[in-house]
Amino acid sequence: MSEVISERTVEVPWLMDTIRSIGPKELLDVGYAGGWYLEDILDMGISCYGLDSDVGRISGGTLKVDDKKKAEWTKIAERMITCIADITKYPEDGQDDLSFPVVMCISTIEHIVPCGYQNDSALDMESDITAANNMKKLVADGGSFMLTFPCGVEHFFYNRCRKTPLDHPKFIEGNYDLMVYGKERIDRLVGDWKVVDKKFWTRQSGVASSFEECDEDVALSKVPIANIPVQSVCAIRMMAP
Ligand X SMILES: C[S@@+](CC[C@H](N)C(=O)[O-])C[C@H]1O[C@@H](n2cnc3c(N)ncnc32)[C@H](O)[C@@H]1O
Q: How far apart are CA 63 and CA 214, in angstroms?
A: 32
Asked if residue 194 lies in contact with residue 109, where contact means CB atoms within 8 angstroms, the answer is: no
C-alpha distance from residue 137 to each of 103, 132, 147, 205 (Å): 10, 9, 15, 40
Of the pair 128, 238, the CB lying nearest ligand X is at 128
Give dist(CA 175, CA 167) in Å, integer.
Answer: 16
- The nearer residue to ligand X, 72 or 141, going by C-beta atoms, is 72
Closest contact distance (angstroms) between CB of 148 and ligand X is 8
User: Of 118 and 221, which has the nearer Cβ to ligand X?
Assistant: 118
Tell me whether residue 112 or residue 166 sits nearer to ligand X (CB atom): 112
Shortest CB 211 distance to ligand X, Å: 15
Question: Residue number with the shortest CB distance to ligand X?
Answer: 31
> Least Å distance between CB 77 and ligand X?
11
List contacts with ligand X (CB under 6 A). 30-35, 51-54, 57, 86-88, 106-108, 111-112, 117
Q: Closest approach of Cβ 235 to ligand X, in Å?
A: 12
How would you label 91-129 residue by residue, b for 16+ Cβ within 10 Å and e otherwise?
A: beeeeeeeebbbbbbbbbbbbbbbbbbbeeeeeeeebbb
**CA–CA distance from 130 to each of 64, 119, 149 (Å)?**
29, 18, 16
Complex with ligand X: residue 47 or 221, whichever CB lies closer: 47
Q: How far is the CB of 178 from ligand X (least distance, A)?
A: 9
